[in-house]
Amino acid sequence: MRHDYRMREMDLGGGAAPVLRGHFLYSEPMKKHVSWRAGGMAQRVYIPADLEDLGWLVRSVPAREDIHMVGLGSNLLVRDGGVSGVVILLHGVLKKLAIESRTQGMPPAPTGRETALVYAQAGVAAPKLARFAANHDLVGSEFLAGIPGTVGGAIAMNAGCYGSETWDKLVQVLTLDRQGQLNERLPGEYVTGYRHVALKQAPPLPNPPPHAGEGTNVGLRAPNPVNEWFVGGWFRLEKGDGLAARETIKQLLKKRIAAQPLSLPNAGSVFRNPPGDYAARLIESCGLKGFCIGCAQVSKKHANFIVNLGGATATDIERVIEHVEETVEARTNVRLIREIRIIGERQ
Ligand SMILES: Cc1cc2nc3c(=O)[nH]c(=O)nc-3n(C[C@H](O)[C@H](O)[C@H](O)COP(=O)(O)OP(=O)(O)OC[C@H]3O[C@@H](n4cnc5c(N)ncnc54)[C@H](O)[C@@H]3O)c2cc1C
């Protein structure tokens, strides 16, 4: 469904492109923007001024260039050879977070339960959403307090822990496509699963926009390009005990500090847990805890984490990932599936 009231705010159709109001960074070290604190440069980074500006930017990027939406980079490795195209940083830009009073066009609330809708834009930190909800006596999003990414990243990854996942709470998302068009979409339009989200029907490839610049060539696009990104989501949460929710958050964070190597740069769990098992258990059973290449190490505290001991390159990290995959497969017959995302070129 087209997002009518916001389209009035953001009518990108027809008229000439305005001057972009965000700013570009060139040859930007991506290690500054990912939690692993390692990796190569982005040819161009764009920090949009707001949603409208983001729409114009997306629309103006030639179709042959990739666009990489990045939140807090807490699940991302950028290879040392760098990344071409445009990296867009959303954290702290799309930061609206509010109780949604609008009911028109929203999926109906379930009967027999008192609920409220929270609207969060993609650049809001996921823990901030959890605290905001608890402070408004809304429960169900406490698990997000320990996930150090953005709401956009949590939606894109279906981030979750302790039995809860982001899409369990989402009732609608707002997306931006490559034509600069906003779309409201319902969960039923997606296939969602364990750290997996995909539109059932892929959005069409963009028509070259009128101001796309020379050389626009849809035929040169990379295979399986991402053509649509999350810019916000509506979370339906139950009314409950805010004090208890804040206590749950406290306990959750304590549990994480005890179990995870949070004093060293990392990207959380590198691999998905295989059905009925734990990636960490399999990795540990292969004697890989503490395994190192360069300054990248399989954490001694949690075997599904790879930590940067200081000065690790993305190549070190990727080689550790590959070594873990190969060793675990050879010894246990289980091929681990990566949870983290890797972009860019090898050096
Ligand atoms: C210490 C630690 C603990 C963690 N614990 C958990 C956990 O318990 N559970 C869990 O699920 N994850 C966990 N993670 C991983 C990570 O925090 C989550 O995957 C998080 O949701 C990623 O959000 P981000 O904003 O950092 O995304 P990024 O790392 O910036 O991006 C991740 C992927 O999502 C895409 N993306 C980002 N924003 C958007 C957008 N707006 N629209 C479309 N695509 C987008 C990116 O292109 C990329 O492919 C942990 C990470 C760390 C460092």
Q: How far apart are CA 248 and CA 24, in angstroms?
A: 40
Q: How confident is the model at residue 110 (pLDDT cuts 50, 70, 90)?
A: confident
Q: Which of 142, 195, 228, 325 is catalytic?
A: 195
Annotated active-site residue 269? The verdict is yes
Q: How confident is the model at residue 28 (pLDDT cuts 50, 70, 90)?
A: very high
Give me the percent of the chain exceeding a pLDDT of 90: 83
The first and second tokens of residue 174, run together, are: 């707002």
Average pLDDT value for the chain: 90
Annotated active-site residue 65? The verdict is no
Q: How far apart are CA 31 and CA 42, in angstroms?
A: 10
Cα of 168 vs centre of ligand 1, distance in Å, is 17
Q: How confident is the model at residue 203 (pLDDT cuts 50, 70, 90)?
A: low
- Give SS3 for 68: strand
- pLDDT, tens digit (0-9, with 9 covering 90-100), for 239-287: 999 999 999 999 999 999 999 999 999 999 999 999 999 999 999 999 9
Q: How far apart are CA 250 and CA 328, in angstroms?
A: 35
Cβ pair 269, 283 in contact under 8 A: no
- Write the DSSP string, 149-175: SBHHHHHHHT-EETTEEHHHHEEEEEE
**What's residue 15's pLDDT?**
56
27 φ/ψ angles, rounded to the nearest 5 degrees: 45, 55
Q: How confident is the model at residue 102 (pLDDT cuts 50, 70, 90)?
A: confident
Cβ pair 77, 265 in contact under 8 A: no
Cα of 197 vs centre of ligand 1, distance in Å, is 12
Q: Is 70 exceeded by the pLDDT of residue 333?
A: yes
The better pLDDT of the pair 343, 11 is held by 343
Annotated active-site residue 100? The verdict is no
Cβ pair 274, 328 in contact under 8 A: no
**What's residue 112's pLDDT?**
86
**What's residue 16's pLDDT?**
61
Cβ pair 87, 240 in contact under 8 A: no
Which atom number of ligand 1 is nearest to the Cα of residue 68?
Answer: 47
Q: Is 70 exceeded by the pLDDT of residue 2?
A: no
CB within 6 Å of ligand 1 — which residues?
35, 68-76, 90, 122, 146-150, 152-154, 156-157, 159-161, 229-230, 260, 262, 266-268, 341
- Ligand 1, atom 38: closest residue by C-alpha: 153
**What's residue 13's pLDDT?**
52
- B/e letters for 88-118, b = 16+ CB within 10 Å, e = fewer, are bbbbebbbebeebeeeeeeeeeeeeeeebbb
- Number of residues written out for the chain: 347
